């Protein structure tokens, strides 16, 4: 009997394994000659070499599906079991796929909803530098954050740096209560709101604590080295020459 351990990293275990591990139990039921045990963030598979290879392919397909769409359903599990771990996406996922930027938290589907938002997504894929200009409320910041998160999820970049000028409106940063982060939080709240829609709470906390996602006022960006990063300058019209 051969054994293989599959680690689940950056995954919400409830969403991936299912309530009471129902998703893994369904996979295990399809392979009665093998043993599949889920403990913590590890899945232990024991059985013959051919079955372990097939089970690993199915679990890898489910992991890729989860990373792309942010959730796993019973229908997804049955699809990949039937497809033997193939790369064909379930039919219901393909609907309006061209406009979907990413699948966020709590079933939120983040997509380009206007012609200009679609153009923004297309140009961001083609260019290193993109200027998005338009009236307030047209989704520029939200779409830009979605494009950045998509690039991070697909490992095209190693970190996201989001910055904006902290323009004071009658108040003064120095007199606001709290440390630097607490002083600038009100200016960056729209960005946090967008990130909450797109990244699971615990994962977002990990990203922020480890500076994989960094949010800072423009005044504190001088002299930074920005390698392998997606940089988003929000409210750029407020910068000085």
The class that CATH gives domain 2-94 is: alpha beta
The predicted pLDDT at position 144 comes to 93
Q: Rounded to 5 degrees, what are φ and ψ at 177?
A: -70, 160
The predicted pLDDT at position 140 comes to 92
Closest CA to 160 of 119, 123, 197, 192: 192
The predicted pLDDT at position 74 comes to 86
The predicted pLDDT at position 122 comes to 92
The predicted pLDDT at position 4 comes to 87
> How far, CA to CA in Å, does 70 sit from each of 11, 162, 164, 238?
9, 22, 28, 35
The predicted pLDDT at position 213 comes to 92
43: left (phi over 0), alpha (psi -120 to 50) or beta: beta
Domain 97-238: CATH superfamily is: P-loop containing nucleotide triphosphate hydrolases (3.40.50.300)
Kindly report the three-state secondary structure assignment for every residue of the chain. Answer: CEEEEEECCCCCHHHHHCHHHHHHHHHHHCCCCCEEEEECCEEEEEECHHHHHHHHHHHHHHHHHHHHHCCCCHHHHHHHHHCCCCCCCCHHHHCCHHHEEEECHHHCEEECCCHHHHHHHHHHHHCCCCCCCCCCCCCHHHHHHHHHHHHHHCCCCCEEEEEECCCCCCCCHHHCCCCHHHHHHHHHHHHHHHHHHHCCHHHHHHHHHCCCEEEEEHHHCCCCCCCCEEEEECCHHHCCC
What are the pLDDT tens digits along the chain (241 aa)? 788 888 887 777 887 888 888 888 889 888 888 898 888 888 888 988 888 888 888 888 888 788 777 778 888 888 888 875 443 444 444 445 667 888 777 667 788 889 999 999 999 999 999 999 988 889 999 999 999 998 998 889 999 998 888 665 444 555 555 665 666 677 778 888 889 888 888 888 889 889 899 888 887 788 888 889 999 998 888 888 7
The predicted pLDDT at position 176 comes to 55
Where do the CATH 3.30.1370.10 domains begin and end in the chain?
A: 2-94
Buried b (16+ CB within 10 A) or exposed e, 97-120: eeebbbbbbeeeebbbeeebbbeb
Q: Please give the structure tokens belonging to residue 42.
A: 């590890």
Where do the CATH 3.40.50.300 domains begin and end in the chain?
A: 97-238
Q: How far apart are CA 7 and CA 154, in angstroms?
A: 19
């Amino acid at each position: 009997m051969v054994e293989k351990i599959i680690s689940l990293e950056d995954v919400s275990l409830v969403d991936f394994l299912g309530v009471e591990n129902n998703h893994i139990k369904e996979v295990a039921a399809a392979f009665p000659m093998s043993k599949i045990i889920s403990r913590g963030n590890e899945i232990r598979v024991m059985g013959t070499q051919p079955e372990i290879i097939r089970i690993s392919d199915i679990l890898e397909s489910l992991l890729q599906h989860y990373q792309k769409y942010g959730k796993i359903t019973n229908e997804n599990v049955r699809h990949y079991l039937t497809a033997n771990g193939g790369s064909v996406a379930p039919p219901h996922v393909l609907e309006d796929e061209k406009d979907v930027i990413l699948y966020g938290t709590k079933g939120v589907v983040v997509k380009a909803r206007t012609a200009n938002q679609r153009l923004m997504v297309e140009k961001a894929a083609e260019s290193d530098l993109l200027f998005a200009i338009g009236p307030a409320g047209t989704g520029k910041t939200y779409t830009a954050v979605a494009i950045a998160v998509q690039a991070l999820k697909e490992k095209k970049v190693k970190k996201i740096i989001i910055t904006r000028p902290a323009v004071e409106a009658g108040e003064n940063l120095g007199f606001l209560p709290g440390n630097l982060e607490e002083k600038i939080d009100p200016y960056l709240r729209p960005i946090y709101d967008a990130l909450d829609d797109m990244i699971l709470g615990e994962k977002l906390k990990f990203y922020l604590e480890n500076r994989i996602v960094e949010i800072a006022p423009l005044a504190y960006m001088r002299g930074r080295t920005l390698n392998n990063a997606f940089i988003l300058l929000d409210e750029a019209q407020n910068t000085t020459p």
